[in-house]
Amino acid sequence: MVNTVDRSTGAKKGSGNPHPYVPATDADRAAMLEAIGVSSFEELIQDIPEKMRFPELDIAESAPELSLSADISAMAARNITPGDYACFLGAGAYRHFIPSTVNAVLQRGEFVTAYTPYQPEAAQGTLQTGFEFQSAICQLFDMEVANAGMYDGPTAFAEAVLMAIRLTHRNKVAVLETVDSRLVQVLRAYSVHQGIEIVSIAPDAAVSDDIACIAFQSPNLFGVIEDVGGLTGRAHAAGALSIVHANPTAHGLFQPPGKYGVDIVTAEGQPLGVPLSFGGAYVGLFACRQEHIRQLPGRIIGRTSDTEGRTGYVLTLQTREQHIRRERATSNICTSTQLIGLMVAVYVATLGKQGLSDVANLCYQKAHYAASEIAQIPGYSLPVSGTFFHEFAVTCPRPVADINAALLEKGIIGGYDISDRIANTMLLCVTEMNSRDEIDGLLMAFREIGGTA
Mean pLDDT of 64-89: 93
Percent of residues, the chain, with pLDDT higher than 90: 76
DSSP string, 119-187: -GGG-HHHHHHHHHHHHHHHHHHT-SEE-S-BS-HHHHHHHHHHHHHHHHT--EEEEETTS-HHHHHHH
Tell me the pLDDT tens digit for each residue of 219-230.
Answer: 999 999 999 999
Total domains present in the chain: 3
Domain match, 122 and 9 both: no
Instruction: Note whether 213 and 290 are same-domain residues.
Output: yes
Q: Is the model's pLDDT at 16 over the cut of 70? A: no
Query: Do 239 and 325 belong to one domain?
Result: yes
- Tell whether 192 and 92 lie within a shared domain: no
Q: What is the pLDDT of residues 318-371, one digit of tens each?
A: 878 777 777 778 887 766 688 899 999 999 999 999 999 999 999 999 999 999
Per-residue confidence (pLDDT) for residue 119, from 0 to 100: 80
Q: Are 187 and 193 in contact (CB under 8 A)?
A: no
Q: How far apart are CA 71 and CA 54, in angstroms?
A: 27
Q: DSSP assignment of 309-360, as one string?
A: S-EEEEEE-GGGSHHHHGGGSS----S--HHHHHHHHHHHHHHHHHHHHHHH
Average pLDDT over residues 234-244: 97
Q: Judge if 105 and 91 occupy the same domain.
A: no
What confidence tens digit (pLDDT) does each residue in 271-282 have?
999 999 988 899
Q: pLDDT at residue 12 above 60?
A: no
Say how far apart CA 156 and CA 287 lie, in whole Å: 10
- Do both 233 and 267 map to the same domain? yes
pLDDT at site 99: 97
Same domain, 120 and 254: yes
Contact by Cβ (8 Å): 120, 315: yes
Q: What confidence score (pLDDT) does residue 333 get?
A: 72
In contact, 322 and 190? CB cutoff 8 Å: no
Q: How confident is the model at residue 66 (pLDDT cuts 50, 70, 90)?
A: very high
How does pLDDT run across 415-452, given as a tens digit for each residue? 999 999 999 999 999 999 999 999 999 999 999 997 65
- The least confident of 47-51, 151-155, 212-216, 256-260 is 47-51
Say whether both 360 and 425 belong to one domain: yes
Which CATH number goes with the domain that contains 386? 3.90.1150.10
From 347, 364, 392, give the residue that closes a domain: 347
Domain residue limits at 371: 86-96+353-449
Same domain, 48 and 159: no
